[in-house]
A and B are shown apart, each in its own frame.
Chain A
Amino acid sequence: MAKMAKIIIDGKTYEVDSSKNLLETILSLKLNLQYFCWHPAMGSVGACRQCAVKKYRDENDKAGKLFMACMEPVVDGMRVSIEDPEAKEFRAGVIEWLMTNHPHDCPVCDEGGECHLQDMTLMSGHNYRRFRYKKRTYRNQYLGPFLHHEMNRCIQCYRCVRFYRDYAGGDDLNVFGVHSSVYFGRHEDGVLENEFAGNLVEVCPTGVFTDNTLFQHYTRKWDLTSAPSVCVHCGVGCNTLAGERYGKLRRILTRYNGQVNGYFLCDRGRFGYEFVNSEKRIRKPMLRLSGENRLSEADEETAITEISAIIKSSRKVMGIGSPRASLEANFTLRSLVSERNFYWGVPEQEFSLLTKEMNILRQGSIRTPSLREIEKCDVVVILGEDLTNTAPMIALAVRQSVRQVPVQSATPYKIPHWQDAAVRELVQDEKGPVFVATPYATKLDSVARTFRGSADEIARLGYAIAGAISSDAPKADNLNEEVCVLSESISKALNKAERPLIIAGQSLKSEAIVNAAANIAYAMRKAGKNVELCYTVPECNSMGMVMMGGKALDQAFHAVEKEAMDTLIIMENDLFRRDEKQAVDRFLKRFKNIIVLDYIENATTERATAIIPVGSFAESDGTFVNNEGRAQRFYQVFVPNKEIKESWRWVRNIMVTSGMKEFSRWKNLLDYTQALIKEMPYFTGIDTITPPPGFRIAGRKIPREPYRYSGRTAMHADKTVHEPKPPEDVDSPMSFTMEGYRGQPPSSLIPFFWSPGWNSAQAINKYQIEVGGPLHGGDPGKRLIEPLPNAKPSYFTDVPKAFAPREGEWMLVPVYHIFGSDELSVHSPGVRELVPKPYIMLSPDDAARLQVTSDSELELGIGGQVERLPVKINLGLRPGLAGYPVTLPGMSVVRFPVSVKISGVKK
């Protein structure tokens, strides 16, 4: 429990936490005070002089002195005044100085309406420009497809460089120049390299860095219809706010969740949303009418009758579910085709590895941390995961954990940890222990001690670490010098740690790695140590998929070989991304009818005999389970054309029409969720992570639109002057209008952050119990996986053999890309620009031996086919290994492990 202190602010006494600074305390008390440079996740530097308050020595001190609230520790008996006229004048004065050079830009500035500088200026009371001289100007830079740069608007708060460099570990953004003309940008024009650069949109309190994707279809914050959502671009499950106008999704912002992503998102999550507006969206049902070979558009009723007829006349219907569809959608399809005929559209290998991860967490005694808890870990061991590309926000969290140990050195000097500049000065380059074992060099290497090797060698290192911690753990034999030394020092670091963490996953398709990570944790537990274990998962509902359990794609392939089936229903899944083309082709040929429910055209929809347009995350409701086992609800943002419906609603309507009348009871999402829980009790509680559809506050719904939402009587007037009735939402207590309850909604229903006087994202302060802490009413979501304290799992023993390269053969290792490996985000034009071209990754030694350079092309025999791929050289890769970028557009799908021969070289 933190030490409490009594302080007096403007004559009123408050009891507060004494570990915080005065500014945080004031904001936590929901009082208003201006600030710029302080950021709740980054601490104080006292750079902007905006947060001045009066501090008095004692009750007799009437004059007091000005202090910066963000630099003042809270002490018992402290007396301060925010309202003191001198303090107010000082704050207004500081703004007036900042404004001397500020451009006359608000009307054309994308920050306008959610600008912290506007808010603070208004709060300070400064309103007329007295300065009669000219303004300083700057040239802007091209910073890539995601960020728009307008340097004239800068107020030199230094937040951007502090976030980019200190927090996110980037090094291509900096401050240049001297005295009154400092410049925040790159050394030259170019794409910002850091994967978290998009956060500058929210970190920068002005319009210097704004969202370039929003710029292309600009809408003010007050005109967006928004809903709480969950990112669909990886398995971390970051919380997002998605906003729509005129039927198009306009942008994604961070939805603060104190347990998950906090104040930030990765760029894939923030800018990947534009697939929702893609030209390739499926908007109408497509049917093959009798006697025709082509698909043609049909209306909803025809589609339902036709498809129901197909299903009724089929002897056997097989259903293929998807880890990118919600629990409810998968469950409904499973109800239609029966459990026996329901298969998950992921390869057996991935499915069983994920199942293994889940079982280790569910049946063992090891806890898996939330994203925010990862930041608090002091020693991190990463086995086989290129986190920046497979689970970006976990990489960002690991970067914060690096500071846990060094920051402690500030304590003896009595420097509070929120004193960011002072602590950094003291810590210098010192980093806490992080170990990264991956086949190729990764971005996290810059803060870690690294190990390079094949998946098996990484697993052997894992086993060696476990062996070094506890003598009864199975050991790897024939360890080389490097592994011996490294495993010793890792085990020492782990033993010393207060809160150690092991991170692994299935991305290298290696069971041994998943097992080895568990063994380290088990060994730590045997040795009586505290330890946590985090597994990454590839997709937004991968964990939900394995929790539901069932059979994988390979079994579906076998099933059709054995028994004739005539109809296949594939839901939100492109099978051609899942397995080799020939295998999928052979499978699909077995069916007379292929009904595909999806939102975007892909190789699978091309093979469909009927296509049903379903809602993407922005057009549907549902529940996802993230890698931590946290069930999170996402909400529909807007209602597109009437044919686009949630997968589960379509499937249910088809069921009802084809005679399964009992399903007509399922009316809103809650009915589906409750039916799911009834059948799978381990999902108990997911129906209460958010209030039921009937929930009202003072008899009112929660509006998705702010009360300034505008243009309602003109936006549809080009089509009809009779304003259409707004759509109704039967699935949630939210309305698609601006009417409803104006106060703060429950934490799982926050459609946007806003508070009087706080129009920017900084309004989050008002939604938290205390600054940086949980939201009022607790952070949303429910953890479904908790460790069993008394479980005594036994060690895994499958220690792999050491890897020996074979002459003339290369072992492929999967390589991941934050922009490129994800199915949906590559349809966004901005992301698309950053997707690498197909390539093969070679080690410098092999490249030298083959006499190839980065301009050369290699001819490889993969799966009976010959592929020509340009070479990329990765300094970390070991000889005998070749990196193969998986699911990158233009690359074929292969089954790992696989070795290839090089059949030709073009220099």
Chain B
Amino acid sequence: MFSNLRSIWIAFLHMFHKRETIQYPEEKIYLPPRWRGRIILSRDPDGQERCVACYLCQVACPVGCISLQATQDETGRRYPEFFRINFSRCIFCGYCEEACPTYSIQLTPDYEMSEFHRENMVYEKEDLLISGEGKYHGYNFYRVSGLAIGGKDKGEGIEDLPPVDVRSIRPDK
């Protein structure tokens, strides 16, 4: 009896506390950039697709909701021919972002993804690819890899020496 009265009293006191309810959607809560919401694919500082179609996010995904196919342009630059995330399966664990060696795939603080039809939760590359770099600025995988692509020849990477002259026998070449 006493405890019931005490509970009612405490609830009554709450009327004079600060309100926690937010008037969503007019009002929105602050979410930090590292919040794990809707996934995007970003671009490198040169404005090119960052994804190199390495399949690491696909294999890291515990629910298997990422699927893609690699292809390459005529200069040898690899990119995804298609890239699909089935958000009706995604658990927003962020493993894909963790696995991505290029900072391409990133989770964002957007969670407003409700749909009436599950089909609409299937995002293709057009829906995923944004025009900027997302959370991570400045990184360009192809600048540090050894691959030659359009606009970057062998030996022009950040870590590279100029290509070896195989026909030279000088020790400094």
Q: Does B41 contact A (CB under 8 A)?
A: no
- Give complex CA distance A565, B55 in Å: 57
Q: Does A817 contact B (CB under 8 A)?
A: no
Q: Does B173 contact A (CB under 8 A)?
A: yes
Q: Does B78 contact A (CB under 8 A)?
A: yes
| Neighbouring B residues of A179 by C-beta, 8 Å | 171
- Give complex CA distance A455, B12 in Å: 110
Q: Does B107 contact A (CB under 8 A)?
A: no
CB distance from A655 to the nearest CB of B (A): 40
Taking a contact as CB atoms under 8 Å apart, the answer to whether B121 and A721 are in contact is yes
Interface bits A98-110 vs B (CB < 8 Å: 1, else 0): 0000011111100
- Give complex CA distance A176, B148 in Å: 22
Interface size on A, residues (CB 8 A): 42
- Give complex CA distance A222, B56 in Å: 11
CB distance from B97 to the nearest CB of A (A): 14
- The count of A-to-B residue pairs whose CB atoms sit within 8 angstroms is 133
- Give complex CA distance A127, B164 in Å: 27
| Neighbouring B residues of A152 by C-beta, 8 Å | 146, 154
Interface bits B100-128 vs A (CB < 8 Å: 1, else 0): 01100000000000000011011010000
Q: Does B159 contact A (CB under 8 A)?
A: yes
- Give complex CA distance A153, B118 in Å: 44
For A176, give the chain B residue with the smallest CB separation.
Answer: B166
- Give complex CA distance A113, B64 in Å: 17
Among B63, B155, B157, B159, contact of A713 (Cβ-Cβ < 8 Å): B63
Q: Does A488 contact B (CB under 8 A)?
A: no
Q: A710 with B61: in contact, given A179-B171, A715-B67 (CB under 8 Å)? A: yes
Of A130-138, A607-615, A787-795, A856-864, the one touching chain B: A130-138
Taking a contact as CB atoms under 8 Å apart, the answer to whether B64 and A713 are in contact is yes
Taking a contact as CB atoms under 8 Å apart, the answer to whether A721 and B64 are in contact is no
Among B54, B118, B160, B169, contact of A112 (Cβ-Cβ < 8 Å): B54
Taking a contact as CB atoms under 8 Å apart, the answer to whether B58 and A721 are in contact is no
Taking a contact as CB atoms under 8 Å apart, the answer to whether B67 and A103 are in contact is no
Q: Does A139 contact B (CB under 8 A)?
A: yes
Q: A220 with B59: in contact, given A139-B154, A177-B166, A713-B64 (CB under 8 Å)? A: yes
Q: Does A183 contact B (CB under 8 A)?
A: yes
CB distance from B149 to the nearest CB of A (A): 9
CB distance from A818 to the nearest CB of B (A): 28
CB distance from A98 to the nearest CB of B (A): 14
Q: Does A97 contact B (CB under 8 A)?
A: no
Taking a contact as CB atoms under 8 Å apart, the answer to whether A137 and B59 are in contact is no
Interface bits A751-790 vs B (CB < 8 Å: 1, else 0): 0000000000000000000000000000000000000000
Taking a contact as CB atoms under 8 Å apart, the answer to whether B147 and A105 are in contact is yes
Which of A113, A134, A246 has its CB near the most chain B CB atoms (within 10 A)?
A: A134
Among B70, B84, B145, B173, contact of A104 (Cβ-Cβ < 8 Å): B145
Q: Does A485 contact B (CB under 8 A)?
A: no
CB distance from A48 to the nearest CB of B (A): 20
Q: Does A181 contact B (CB under 8 A)?
A: yes
Q: A108 with B159: in contact, given A178-B169, A183-B164, A718-B122 (CB under 8 Å)? A: no
Q: Does A730 contact B (CB under 8 A)?
A: no
Taking a contact as CB atoms under 8 Å apart, the answer to whether B52 and A183 are in contact is no
- Give complex CA distance A217, B70 in Å: 7
- Give complex CA distance A106, B144 in Å: 12
For A714, give the chain B residue with the smallest CB separation.
Answer: B67
CB distance from A736 to the nearest CB of B (A): 15
CB distance from A243 to the nearest CB of B (A): 14
Taking a contact as CB atoms under 8 Å apart, the answer to whether B164 and A137 are in contact is yes
Q: Does A798 contact B (CB under 8 A)?
A: no
Among B67, B84, B122, B161, contact of A135 (Cβ-Cβ < 8 Å): B161
| Neighbouring B residues of A715 by C-beta, 8 Å | 67, 84
CB distance from B45 to the nearest CB of A (A): 17
Q: Does A528 contact B (CB under 8 A)?
A: no
Taking a contact as CB atoms under 8 Å apart, the answer to whether A710 and B69 are in contact is no
Q: A135 with B159: in contact, given A104-B144, A107-B101, A710-B58 (CB under 8 Å)? A: yes
A133-167 contacts to B (CB < 8 Å): 134-140, 150, 152-153
B67-99 contacts to A (CB < 8 Å): 67-72, 78, 84-86, 88-89
Taking a contact as CB atoms under 8 Å apart, the answer to whether B146 and A714 are in contact is no
- Give complex CA distance A153, B154 in Å: 13
Among B102, B145, B163, B167, contact of A138 (Cβ-Cβ < 8 Å): B163
Among B78, B85, B124, B162, contact of A137 (Cβ-Cβ < 8 Å): B162
29 contacts between A and B (CB under 8 A): A104-B146, A105-B147, A106-B101, A107-B101, A107-B145, A108-B145, A135-B159, A135-B161, A137-B154, A137-B160, A140-B148, A150-B147, A153-B146, A177-B164, A177-B167, A178-B169, A181-B164, A183-B166, A222-B59, A710-B61, A711-B64, A712-B64, A714-B64, A714-B84, A714-B85, A715-B67, A715-B84, A721-B118, A721-B121
Point out residues on B near A: beta carbons under 8 Å.
52-56, 58-59, 61, 63-72, 78, 84-86, 88-89, 101-102, 118-119, 121-122, 124, 141, 144-148, 154-155, 157, 159-164, 166-169, 171, 173
Point out residues on A near B: beta carbons under 8 Å.
103-108, 112-113, 134-140, 150, 152-153, 176-179, 181, 183, 215, 217-220, 222-223, 246, 708, 710-715, 717-718, 721
Q: A112-B54, A714-B65 are known contacts; what are 14 more A-B pairs with Cβ within 8 Å?
A: A103-B145, A105-B145, A105-B146, A106-B101, A137-B155, A137-B161, A138-B166, A181-B173, A217-B69, A219-B70, A223-B58, A718-B124, A721-B86, A721-B121
